[in-house]
Amino acid sequence: MGGAAQIRENDVPWTLTREDFNFERVAEIARRTTITVVVPAKDEAATIGPVVEAILNCDGIVNELIVVNDHSSDDTPAVAAHHGASVLRLEGAGGKGNALRAGLLESSSELVVFLDADVTNTTPAFVLQLVQPLLERSEIQLVGMPTGGGRVNELAARPILSLLFPGLGEIRQPLAGETAGRRSAFNQISLESAYGVEIAMLIDTARRFGVRSLAQVDLGTRHHRNQTIEELRPMAAEVLRAALERYGVSFPLDTE
């Protein structure tokens, strides 16, 4: 796997504004590679249809669209398939990270985009903007977004990154479900099983390739279902656990 890169405080990710985006140029360059979009989904029948339609309307640049059904109890897989997605049933233990890993293993494209299933204003531009840094700079390995940020992001993820991994302090949305990366990079890091997957992906990529291998793109404001404090608590615990484990902290007791 090669040597790890040092996370240095003065290094910053490449941040692109909406003005930096060029639809025609990105669409043209994207046709020179292959792109898979993976959407983990659990009980998202109400929103998965429009998400799939937006992805499939990306000017023909998406080679694979895989919706990973994470043990849904509703019609999520049927709705996703009806709108044109390939649906993969997640076997074994559930969890967002496990769903992302399953989709990654099922796919074959050089670039992989992860999108959330519950964002009600997903547009084709999400995919195009996320892959732009990967297409324009070969050193970029992982792309996220700098806007938005919920309670777990602001109260858990960003503070712990600033305290323990200061080189990642410029990452404004470390828990973004909208990310993209190179298959070759994903093959060199591990994916956490559950909600710690995004922050772990960020830390592991920075350690492996350096902070300058990261980029952020402005997707604007995303709209999705707000979760209760009771739902957010285990998410926050998983995020903190993933970051602290990578800092070398062990956990003698179960924090759930």
Question: What is the pLDDT at residue 76?
Answer: 98
- Any idea which residue has 């709209």 for tokens? 223
Contacts for 54 with CB less than 8 Å, ≥ 6 apart: 122, 123, 124, 126
Both tokens of 33, joined, read 């590679």
Average pLDDT over residues 227-242: 89
Mean pLDDT calculated for residue range 109-115? 97
Instruction: Give the Cα separation of 158 and 10 in Å (integer).
Output: 17
45 occurs within a structural domain: yes
Taking alpha carbons only, the member of 70, 69, 62 closest to residue 37 is 62
Q: What is the pLDDT of residues 120-138, one digit of tens each?
A: 999 999 999 999 999 999 9
Tokens of 139: 């050193």
CB neighbours of 181 closer than 8 A, spacing ≥ 6? 111, 112, 134, 141, 142, 143, 201, 205
Range scoring the smallest mean pLDDT among 2-11, 16-25, 49-58, 233-242? 2-11
pLDDT band of residue 1 (cuts 50, 70, 90) is very low
pTM of the model: 0.90
Percent of the chain with pLDDT strictly greater than 70: 91
4 within a domain of the structure (yes/no): no
Tell me, what CATH number does 182's domain have? 3.90.550.10
pLDDT of residue 90: 97
Residue 221 predicted with pLDDT over 90: no
Query: What average pLDDT score do residues 54-58 get?
Result: 95
How many domains does one find in the chain? Answer: 1
Strand partners, 14: 215
- Within a domain: residue 36? yes
Give me the domain span that covers residue 239: 14-246
Q: Does any domain span residue 256? A: no
Residue 62 identity (one-letter amino acid): V
Q: What is the mean pLDDT of residues 70-96?
A: 97
pLDDT, position 167: 79
Q: DSSP state, 90?
A: P
Q: What are 84-107's pLDDT values in tens digits?
A: 999 999 999 999 999 999 999 999
**How many angstroms separate the CA atoms of 122 and 224, rounded?**
10
Q: Give the model's confidence band at 149: pLDDT under 50 very low, under 70 low, under 90 confident, else very high.
A: low
